Amino acid sequence: MKKILIVLLIGFASFPLVIKAQNSSQESVPLLVEEVTKDLKENILPFWEKNAPDPREGFYGTILNDGTPQLDAPKGGVLNARILWTFSKAYQLFGNEEYKRMADRAQEYFIKYFIDHKYGGTFWSLHADGTPNITDKQTYGIVYGIYGLAQHYQATKNKKSLHQAITLYKILEKHAYDAVNGGYIESFTQDWQVPVQYGYDGKGIAPKTMNTHLHVLEAYTLLYQVWPNQQLKKQLKNLINIFLNEIIDRQRWHQRLFLTMDWKNLENIDSYGHDMELSWLLLEAAEVLDEEGIIEEVLPVVLKLVDTQMSEGWTKEGAMLYERNNGEIKGGLEWWPQAESVIAFYNAWQISNDEKYLDAAIKTWKWIESHLIDKEYGEWFSGLLPDGTPDRSRPKADLWKCPYHNSRMGFELFNRTH
């Protein structure tokens, strides 16, 4: 409803059009939300509750497609922070005590093992026994710590989580913020020195990336909701401006992925899923700031981003392609761009009342139902093979495969309709 009011405020649509959109969608929207929420509660979350907890503490670092854990696999900070965020959000929305137990378990383990209590920040990964593995500081990983801990505080009011989230924010602002050019530097050594190479894979040359800034944006947006600090508000505004003026290519309506310190583009890659994800996270950030001028500037950008990805990356079957690299389509049909596309399409419908977006959200969800949901072992497949069948060789959980994108799709649709 909040977005509908914004539409009325700035003149994107008139009141009769809003009523028409609501009435004509009263059958399709409840069914969509019901199906997505059922998948969330009966498929995604139960898989993680059953298979992820490691009896030694925390959660397994890798879980195979059939739910079998890899006992000696390293434990990634991003995965653990996303588990923390997911079950905190689930508890906040649904009040299930089992969700809270999972969230508390994740919070305790993350604070105890992933936070570097000597130099500040977080470790990128741990060995299976909880000892540090990759100790380099990655801004990407640290902001997920902020995101998960801030969500845990919002859901449970655990002040230790808020304190740790604020502490991580302050250490990033001290070391990672570029006071000359704006934005956040990608990587550091454990003690915050210049790394040999940038990036979480240790192979990058880009000191700044779209992907890291995207997740700084979402983490700072959530942190500001639970801790309305004025300096944080200023930095959140700066992030929005960086996306609008430096990261988004307004000629092509894609984000520039890999960047120099002064924002020069280093690669010719379009990431359809990230562009869809940005479209709704950018508006979320603007709404949290609650300043009409920023919202007015962001709204048309949201629709431009969605229209471009819909035109260039969305298949006739309803799936979002992975990326275009130097003019060629790369990667297969991955799980997470589909989840982000459902949210982005639904968000675009809410702010425009154009039912082509609602139809697209429903079509993408139906594609997910048919191709990605694992009806045998639970959760979603990571992606499809070239022949269109699920890739069962890939794990259900690892450094990157997590309960975050697909559960967030469920949370967003549920929250926007209840």
CATH number at 388 reads 1.50.10.10
Would residue 144 count as lying in a domain?
no
Distance in angstroms between the alpha carbons of the first and the last residue of the chain = 10
pLDDT for position 199: 84
Tell me which residue range forms the domain holding 390: 1-51+309-418
Q: Would you state the structure tokens that stand for residue 27, as one six-digit string?
A: 């059958």
Q: How far apart are CA 393 and CA 110, in angstroms?
A: 29
Would residue 122 count as lying in a domain?
no
Query: Residue 365 burial by CB count (10 A; 0-12/13-18/19+): exposed, middle or buried?
Result: buried
Cβ density class 220-241: b for 16+ within 10 Å, e for less: bbbbbebeeeeebeebbeebbe
Helix (H) or strand (E) holding 241: helix 230-242
Q: What is the residue type of 346?
A: Y
Q: Would you state the structure tokens that stand for residue 6, as one six-digit string?
A: 């914004």
Q: How many domains does the chain have?
A: 1
Would residue 418 count as lying in a domain?
yes
The pTM assigned to this predicted structure is 0.94
pLDDT for position 23: 45
Q: What is the DSSP letter of 381?
A: -
CA angle 282–284–286, rounded 5-degree value: 70
For the chain, residues with pLDDT lower than 50 are 1-23
Residue-by-residue DSSP string for 139-190: HHHHHHHHHHHHHHHHHH--HHHHHHHHHHHHHHHHHTB-TTT-SB--EE-T
Would residue 289 count as lying in a domain?
no
pLDDT for position 402: 96
- C-alpha 33 chain-centroid distance: 20
Query: Residue 389 burial by CB count (10 A; 0-12/13-18/19+): exposed, middle or buried?
Result: exposed
Would residue 394 count as lying in a domain?
yes
Residue-by-residue DSSP string for 85-144: HHHHHHHHHH--HHHHHHHHHHHHHIIIIIB-TTTSSB-SEE-TTSSEEE--EEHHHHHH
How many Cα atoms within 13 Å fall on the side-chain side of residue 340?
A: 25
Would residue 247 count as lying in a domain?
no
Q: How would you classify residue 95: left for phi > 0, otherwise alpha for psi between -120 and 50, otherwise beta?
A: left
Compute the radius of gyration of the chain from its Cα atoms.
Answer: 20
Would residue 124 count as lying in a domain?
no
Confirm if 183 and 208 have CB atoms less than 8 A apart: yes
Q: Would you state the structure tokens that stand for residue 9, as one six-digit string?
A: 């405020």
pLDDT for position 316: 96
pLDDT for position 5: 42
pLDDT for position 201: 63
pLDDT for position 205: 86
Q: How far apart are CA 144 and CA 233, in angstroms?
A: 18
